[in-house]
Amino acid sequence: MPRASRTPVSAPPAPADVRVGVLALQGDFAEHLVALRALGADAIEVRTLEQLSAVNGLIIPGGESTTIARLLIAFDLLGPLRDRIVKGLPVWGTCAGAILLAKHVPNLDRPPLAVMDITVERNAFGRQVDSFEANLKVEGIEGAPLRAIFIRAPLISRIGRSVALLATLKDGTIVAASQGHLLATSFHPELTEDRRMHGLFLQMVAEAAASRPTGGSGRPPR
């Protein structure tokens, strides 16, 4: 995958006492871990039910959406992950991850998680050779536009009434949206040195953890 060579852009440090997981079945999960840890986050790979139960938030990375969907079933994670999302687990899907969050995905050969009221079109911008970069103004992120990398990227072709539009390309194509504790982006923030999208998600995780009656720590039991 191409990497944008950029000067690091600062983001707020990770909140204390929350743990974020990155689904590590396939795709560029390692890059997300690097980004999260650069912000001081307690971040772990998630491949098992035990690991899933130990996190306050989860990132589903880019990769092959059909492969990740199959592996979620093979690792007995599809149902438990959907249940945790329904109960309020913050989840951010990037590229393939956005596809898996969507309720409507034409031509996906395995069921997605189907938890976010969006329609996502797979490979909407073409093949690997059609990858591109764009400057985006993202709602909730202050400062200069965010440099976004699109690789065999999907687009969000429809959003439901309860979904907030966060970023579009110049032609109005939707490439980032949120719905409550869910975040979806068509691009790959983990491939740049700009950590502000990861900072935004960490803030979502911290707010969700603080809103739960835990008797102190917002972190699930290890």
**CA separation for the pair 193, 164 (Å, rounded):** 26
Residue 117: which pLDDT band, with cuts at 50, 70 and 90? very high
Q: Report the C-alpha dihedral over residues 46, 52, 57, 59, rounded to 10 degrees.
A: 30
- For residues 127 and 171, what is the distance between their CA atoms, to the nearest angstrom? 20
Confidence at residue 153, expressed as pLDDT on a 0 to 100 scale: 87
User: Residue 4's pLDDT band (boundaries 50, 70, 90)?
Assistant: very low
pLDDT digits (tens, 9 = 90+) for 120-150: 998 766 566 557 899 999 999 999 999 999 9
Determine the residue type at 155: L
Report, in angstroms and rounded to the nearest whole number, the Rg of the chain calculated over CA atoms. 16
In this structure, which amino acid lies at residue 33? L
Closest CA to 115 of 180, 49, 27: 180
Q: What does the pLDDT read at residue 13?
A: 65
**Domains in the chain: ranges and CATH:** 19-210 (3.40.50.880)
Pick the range with the lowest mean pLDDT from 26-35, 108-117, 127-136, 163-172: 127-136
Residues 152, 124 contacting (CB under 8 angstroms): no
Mean per-residue pLDDT, 4-16 = 57
**29-50 core/surface letters (b: 16 or more CB in 10 A; e: else):** bebbbebbebbebbbbebbeee
At residue 182, does pLDDT exceed 70? yes
Average pLDDT, the chain: 89
**How far apart, in whole angstroms, are the C-alpha atoms of residue 196 and residue 187?**
14
Global pTM reads 0.88
What is the structure's pLDDT at 123? 74
How is 43-109 classified by DSSP, letter by letter?
EEEE-SHHHHHT-SEEEE-SS-HHHHHHHHHHTT-HHHHHHHHHTT--EEEETHHHHHHEEE-TT-S
- In angstroms, what CA-CA distances link 69 with 77, 145, 202? 10, 32, 25
- Residue scoring higher pLDDT (125 or 100): 100
Catalytically active residues are 95, 188, 190
